[in-house]
Amino acid sequence: MWYRLIGFADDDHAMNILAVHPPYPGNKQIVYLPLGLGYTTAVAEREGHEVTVLDMHNLRLSYDVLEKTLARREFQACFMGGFAMQVKGMAKVTELIKKVQPDCKVILGGVGVSDIPEIALNYTRADIVSNGEAENVLPPLLKAIEERRACEDLPGFVYRRGGDIIKQARAAAPDDLDALPYPAYHLFDVDYISTKSYNGRGPRSLHLMTSRGCPFKCNFCINSVLNNRTLLKEIHGKVEEEAAKSQRFRSVGSLAKEIEFLRSRYGITDFHFADEEFITHRRRLEEVCQAIEPLGISWSTSGRADWATEDKLHRMKKAGCTYVLFGVETGSQTLLDLMDKNAKKPAVAQGLISARKVGMDFIANFMVGHPGETESTIRETVDFCKEHKLIFLPAFVTLFPNSKMFHDFAKNITDWDWYFKTLSTIDFNRNLLVNLTKMPQKKLLAMRNWAVAETFSTMLAPKLTGVLHKALTKLLTVALVISDRCPNSLRMPIRNAIRAIFGRTTSKITSDGSDRSMSTQVPPNEYGQSELPDAYEESLRELTAPPRK
Ligand code: B12
Ligand code: SF4
């Protein structure tokens, strides 16, 4: 029986739990505090268990270290969490654990597995998979393991019993984010992570969430599943009331307190608010800015360009925001519609123009290879980039679990070992997983290379025309092909430098210092956006209201 348990190594605490952040060999350069593991290990500690973290990805630990750890101590449970790119690593870690400590219950979670629990269980040979945000459902599971009971009727998990896989309902996600413990920072090497943290722009930077979820449903994104009850039911069979939750906000008081804590304990002065969508909700944005401005920190975040108005960006800048990641995705309206982005191109463009006016640095994130992408949509995107002085540095559209797009195509994936193995080793900024377009793959890759080079050469030498412009584009295409073959340790600094140099020069038109009234931008729905999420109606009303004196 899966719940038959071992003797405890130590009576002082309930269980010894090993938490592994599995490796992602495809992009070792991305260093970050894995928030999902951070929160779940904090819950385990709160329940009285002793947790040992092996941060294999960030610290580039080898499987030898894992074996030595397993030889030194007996663990009753192992937590693993992460992206789809880490599932291959989860399988390898599980294999080693089961070899040395067969009774240790391996529990998986995170966006890489929560949406495909049966596939993940079969592939990794783990014991239990969490099917969503786990803070509220973990304590009864741990209790059941500790007491050697089955976890019948515990929503939130899919697990083995004998030869069967038992699927419980998808659990309700935590509503009250203030009630959650802080991620267990002390279990991670915060000194190392914060000095290298992806998205950071300060000497010591960390990711932090001010909210969870997003009210939109872009088809390549996790929220296309999470905000779609019908799809959630299809995937999980049973879904608890409130399992499909849109955006949830923590109180700004708790946010400010955590920032203060991280600053005083670890000297963190820069934060990346890793919210899925920070910008749309005007009142909330104002509340956060008001609460953090006095703290004197620098920060960055991400959000929708079509909702980024001058006054919002100005407010953010005043509160210490150094740059914003905009999910622009494409310059083609046809593709924006196919992506269910609910965005109109002129509104997106206006957001970028607003950022330039305010002097807010931004990175416009693009993708290439979405179903429906054609030579003509790529050309449209190139024109959009040239018009708005942007370099097209796209990620290849990738089939990740936890998206509607994934479920539209998942039936075509027959070899899961190929899928997880390839995902673990490729870097989506330069490699294609599968071609989802009707273009031949060779053509798609050539168009992507041309588009990058064409926008780059226009930025490098805007006055160059005719043959010389074409020659420069050709030269840059060759440079791109070479750089795509370089290791990330070489390629990432070049990419970042290009972004830093050209991102900054294009944001040179700075604030005139004048007070900005509300509503300095046409609201996105006036561009014909349909069906705005309920939670945003209020924000929209405020946006369209006459400016406050
Ligand atoms: C912040 C963020 C990042 C940050 C860092 C993440 C971090 N600090 O953990 C950075 C910038 C590094 C990042 C990078 C990328 N990201 Co990102 N990112 C996010 C974002 C916006 C939030 C993640 C987060 O921290 N959520 C908050 C935590 C608390 O939630 P959680 O991780 O899901 O954890 C909960 C549950 O899953 C569960 N759980 C998690 N682990 C465990 C373990 C156990 C044992 C249990 C029981 C439960 C459990 O309980 C947790 C608490 O409720 C998500 C969107 C999203 N909603 O997840 C995308 C997201 C995770 N990213 C995504 C992608 C694709 C990427 C990139 C590949 C993008 C790119 N093209 O380069 C890179 C690659 C990352 C890498 N490893 O190399 C995809 C992943 C798709 C997938 N299914 O794998 C997402 C889902 C966005 C999307 N498109 O929908 N990302
Ligand atoms: S707006 Fe961003 S976070 Fe929200 S659903 Fe779309 S891609 Fe996902």
* Each residue's pLDDT tens digit, 237-273: 887 766 556 789 999 999 999 999 999 999 999 999 9
pLDDT digits (tens, 9 = 90+) for 125-138: 999 999 999 999 99
Residue 9 banded pLDDT, cuts 50, 70, 90? very low
Rounded to an integer, what distance in angstroms lies between the CA atom of residue 448 and that of residue 433?
14
What is the residue whose two structure tokens read 């920070």?
A: 278
Global model pTM greater than 0.85: yes
Rounded to an integer, what distance in angstroms lies between the CA atom of residue 315 and that of residue 285?
9
What is the Cα 275 distance to its own chain's centre?
Answer: 8
Residue 1 banded pLDDT, cuts 50, 70, 90? very low
The per-residue pLDDT for 514 is 47
CATH number at 199-397+436-509: 3.80.30.20
Atom of ligand 2 nearest to the CA of 217: 5
Residue ranges, CATH 3.80.30.20, the chain:
199-397+436-509
CA-proximal residue: ligand 1, atom 89 (nearest): 221
Residue ranges, CATH 3.40.50.2300, the chain:
2-167
The per-residue pLDDT for 307 is 92
The per-residue pLDDT for 4 is 30
Nearest ligand for residue 34 CA: 1
pLDDT digits (tens, 9 = 90+) for 386-442: 999 999 999 999 999 999 999 999 889 999 999 999 999 988 888 899 999 999 999
Amino acid identity of residue 526, one-letter, is E
Query: Within a 13 Å sphere around the CA of 312, how many CA atoms are in the beta-carbon half?
Result: 30
Rounded to an integer, what distance in angstroms lies between the CA atom of residue 200 and that of residue 209?
14
Query: Within a 13 Å sphere around the CA of 233, how many CA atoms are in the beta-carbon half?
Result: 6
The per-residue pLDDT for 509 is 39
Is the pLDDT at 92 greater than 70, yes or no?
yes
Residue 318 banded pLDDT, cuts 50, 70, 90? very high
The per-residue pLDDT for 498 is 76
Average pLDDT of the segment spanning 34-45 = 98
Atom of ligand 1 nearest to the CA of 39: 52
The per-residue pLDDT for 271 is 98
2-167: what CATH class?
alpha beta
Nearest ligand for residue 348 CA: 2
**Secondary structure of 124-164 as H, E, C letters:** HCCCEEECCCCCCCHHHHHHHHHCCCCCCCCCCEEEEECCE
Whether ligand 2 lies within 6 angstroms of the CB of 127 is answered as: no
Average pLDDT of the segment spanning 145-152 = 84
Average pLDDT, the chain: 88
Average pLDDT of the segment spanning 22-43 = 93
Is the pLDDT at 534 greater than 70, yes or no?
no
Whether ligand 2 lies within 6 angstroms of the CB of 277 is answered as: yes
Amino acid identity of residue 402, one-letter, is N
Q: Which residues pair with 109 in a beta bridge?
A: 81
Amino acid identity of residue 235, one-letter, is I
Rounded to an integer, what distance in angstroms lies between the CA atom of residue 97 and that of residue 488?
30
Residue 228 banded pLDDT, cuts 50, 70, 90? confident
Average pLDDT of the segment spanning 331-342 = 96
Rounded to an integer, what distance in angstroms lies between the CA atom of residue 448 and that of residue 476?
12
The per-residue pLDDT for 236 is 85
Q: Residue 310 burial (CB < 10 Å; 0-12/13-18/19+)?
A: buried
The per-residue pLDDT for 519 is 52
Rounded to the nearest angstrom, the distance between the alpha carbon of 274 and the centre of ligand 1 is 9
Residue 326 banded pLDDT, cuts 50, 70, 90? very high
Rounded to the nearest angstrom, the distance between the alpha carbon of 468 and the centre of ligand 2 is 40
The per-residue pLDDT for 3 is 30
Whether ligand 2 lies within 6 angstroms of the CB of 217 is answered as: yes
Answer with the residue of higher pLDDT: 367 or 30: 367
Rounded to an integer, what distance in angstroms lies between the CA atom of residue 247 and that of residue 214?
5
Average pLDDT of the segment spanning 479-503 = 77
Ligand 1 pocket mutation, candidates 53, 83, 226, criterion most atoms within 8 A of CB: 83
Whether ligand 2 lies within 6 angstroms of the CB of 327 is answered as: yes
The per-residue pLDDT for 153 is 77
The per-residue pLDDT for 540 is 61
- How many CB atoms are closer than 10 A to CB 215? 18
CA-proximal residue: ligand 1, atom 68 (nearest): 428
Residue 227 banded pLDDT, cuts 50, 70, 90? confident
pLDDT digits (tens, 9 = 90+) for 150-173: 777 788 999 988 888 999 988 888
Classify the phi-psi angles of 267: left when phi > 0, otherwise alpha if psi is within -120 to 50, otherwise beta. Answer: left
Percentage of the chain exceeding pLDDT 90 = 70
Rounded to an integer, what distance in angstroms lies between the CA atom of residue 183 and that of residue 180?
9
The per-residue pLDDT for 531 is 64
- How many CB atoms are closer than 10 A to CB 387? 11
Rounded to the nearest angstrom, the distance between the alpha carbon of 20 and the centre of ligand 2 is 28
The per-residue pLDDT for 495 is 75
Is the pLDDT at 488 greater than 80, yes or no?
no
The per-residue pLDDT for 6 is 34
CA-proximal residue: ligand 2, atom 3 (nearest): 276
